[in-house]
């Protein structure tokens, strides 16, 4: 079980260190990296100018079980002569798919980094909210004790003591809920980092430093738009390759044939006829029938249409996502700054309210009302700081600039 502490017992873990840790543990990053490896292998496979030649052989004989017949042996070296345009088109598409895969790997790293940033902010907010709730509970216990003393002294009625006890119970329940929120947020961050020691992670969590965001990129230079554009270009290259593969291909072969005839028992050398040796060149051309490879062409065109729709949809939402995320970030930052400016005054006023009730200068209902207003300001500050971190993380993803988290990709 996590324990709320006033001071962190362990040094705070730098955000960059936790991001690196999350990258190593992320299945999304691993999947994107595997896609890059597959794309690299595809480019390497299509870089071959000609497929490997094939050796074909055949042996036939009927002289083992008959008194006469023939022994035939054929060997040929065959080279397929595929239409080069199809291979070049598919190679071009594979290279574009590889560039897109690398961009998507960078974007996967960006999204994981943003999730880590938001997760750390959530844990830090839960820790701070727990501290506030603990202060509230301690204040409620002090007010309840003061109310009991007043009732015992005859300075207040039993209703005042009951009201104070109810306020204390509410404060204790809220503290328990804050503890549960801390455990849930820390467990989520632990899962993201693939850690086992969640207690240590909660003790290390501090508010992350939020660097200024880079300026919004031009639409066509965004990593996600570039990746989608490359996907469309790759799909169109596949269409070209599929259409060119409908052109008949040829097979060129260089062969040798050996024929040996016998008219009696094969074990008698005198009965063996002189063998024949033949060499020749063969050229075979495929003759496509109706709808030759039309299914492959139709599938490639459908995938190109899908890639085009994905790109158009991405372009539409890219600009609006940047504008809305920056607006939310600006509002959250301004709110956190305004509330931070009043934090010292709120803490001082809380102490004065407590003392005024004990001294009899304030009635219990007035003290509780004033205290709740002040404490609401403290909790709102914690929530505003949490929203600020979350808005910053969301803006990182909306900008789609992996360089913002130190991930560089080739232009």
pLDDT at 210 over 80: yes
Token pair listed for 376: 């609401």
* Average pLDDT across the chain, whole number: 81
pLDDT at 3 over 50: no
Domains and CATH numbers, the chain: 15-47+82-249+299-405 (1.20.1600.10)
- pLDDT per residue as tens digits for the range 166-185: 878 888 898 899 899 998 99
The mean pLDDT value for 207-219 works out to 85
pLDDT at 389 over 80: yes
Which residues are CB-contacts of 43 (< 8 A; sequence separation ≥ 6)? 91, 94, 95, 98
- Using alpha carbons, list the distances in angstroms from residue 70 to 113, 263, 272: 75, 9, 10
- Least confident window among 76-85, 111-120, 361-370, 394-403: 361-370
- pLDDT per residue as tens digits for the range 119-136: 999 999 999 888 888 888
Cα–Cα distance measured from residue 183 to residue 130, given in angstroms and rounded to the nearest whole number: 11
pLDDT at 20 over 80: yes
- pLDDT per residue as tens digits for the range 227-241: 999 999 999 998 988
User: Residue 5: what pLDDT?
Assistant: 35
User: Residue 250: what pLDDT?
Assistant: 79
* Angle, CA of 40, 403 and 313, to the nearest 5°: 75
User: Residue 4: what pLDDT?
Assistant: 39
User: Residue 1: what pLDDT?
Assistant: 38
User: Residue 108: what pLDDT?
Assistant: 95
Residue 147's pLDDT band (cuts 50, 70, 90): confident
- Least confident window among 94-108, 130-144, 249-263, 372-386: 249-263
CA nearest neighbour of 132 among 70, 62, 179, 67: 179
Q: Can you give the length of the chain in residues?
A: 411
pLDDT at 272 over 70: no
Report how many helices (DSSP H) and strands (DSSP E) the chain contains, helices first. Answer: 9, 4
By the 10 Å C-beta count (0-12 exposed, 13-18 middle, 19+ buried), 26 is classed as buried
- The percentage of residues in the chain with a pLDDT greater than 70, rounded to a whole number, is 84
User: Residue 411: what pLDDT?
Assistant: 58
- The percentage of residues in the chain with a pLDDT greater than 90, rounded to a whole number, is 27
User: Residue 331: what pLDDT?
Assistant: 92
pLDDT at 288 over 90: no
CA nearest neighbour of 396 among 118, 206, 120: 118
């Amino acid at each position: 079980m996590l324990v709320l502490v006033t001071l962190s017992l362990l040094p705070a873990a730098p955000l960059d260190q936790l991001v690196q840790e999350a990258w190593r543990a992320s299945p999304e990053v691993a999947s994107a990296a595997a896609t890059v490896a597959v794309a690299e292998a595809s480019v390497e496979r299509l870089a071959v100018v000609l497929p490997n030649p094939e050796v074909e052989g055949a042996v036939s004989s009927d002289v083992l079980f008959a008194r006469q017949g023939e022994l035939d042996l054929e060997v040929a070296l065959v080279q397929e002569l595929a239409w080069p345009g199809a291979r070049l088109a598919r190679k071009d598409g594979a290279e574009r798919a590889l560039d897109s895969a690398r961009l998507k790997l960078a974007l996967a790293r960006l999204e994981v980094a943003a999730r880590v940033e938001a997760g750390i902010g959530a844990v830090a907010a839960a820790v701070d909210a727990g501290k506030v709730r603990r202060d509230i509970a301690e204040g409620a216990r002090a007010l309840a004790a003061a109310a009991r003393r007043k009732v015992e002294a005859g300075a207040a009625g039993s209703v005042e003591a009951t009201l104070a006890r109810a306020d204390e119970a509410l404060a204790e329940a809220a503290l328990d809920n804050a503890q549960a929120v801390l455990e849930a947020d820390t467990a989520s961050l632990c899962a993201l980092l693939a850690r086992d020691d969640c207690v240590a992670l909660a003790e290390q969590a501090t508010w992350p430093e939020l660097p200024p965001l880079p300026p919004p990129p031009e639409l066509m230079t965004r990593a996600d738009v570039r990746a989608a554009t490359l996907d469309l270009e790759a799909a169109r290259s596949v269409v070209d390759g599929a259409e060119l593969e409908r052109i008949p291909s040829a097979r060129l072969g260089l062969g040798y044939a050996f024929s040996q005839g016998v008219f009696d028992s094969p074990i008698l050398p005198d009965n063996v006829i002189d063998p024949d040796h033949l060499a020749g060149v063969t050229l075979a051309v495929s003759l496509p029938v109706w709808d030759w490879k039309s299914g492959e062409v139709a599938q490639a065109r459908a995938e190109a249409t899908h890639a085009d729709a994905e790109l158009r949809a991405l372009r539409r939402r890219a600009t609006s996502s940047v504008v809305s995320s920056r607006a939310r970030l600006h509002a959250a930052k301004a709110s956190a700054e305004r509330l931070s400016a009043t934090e010292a005054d709120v803490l001082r006023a809380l102490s004065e309210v407590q003392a005024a009730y004990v001294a009899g200068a304030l009635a219990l209902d007035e003290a509780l009302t004033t205290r709740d207003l002040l404490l609401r300001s403290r909790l709102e500050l914690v929530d505003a700081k949490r929203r600020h971190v979350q808005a910053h993380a969301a803006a990182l993803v909306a900008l789609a600039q992996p360089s913002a988290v130190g991930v560089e990709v080739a232009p």
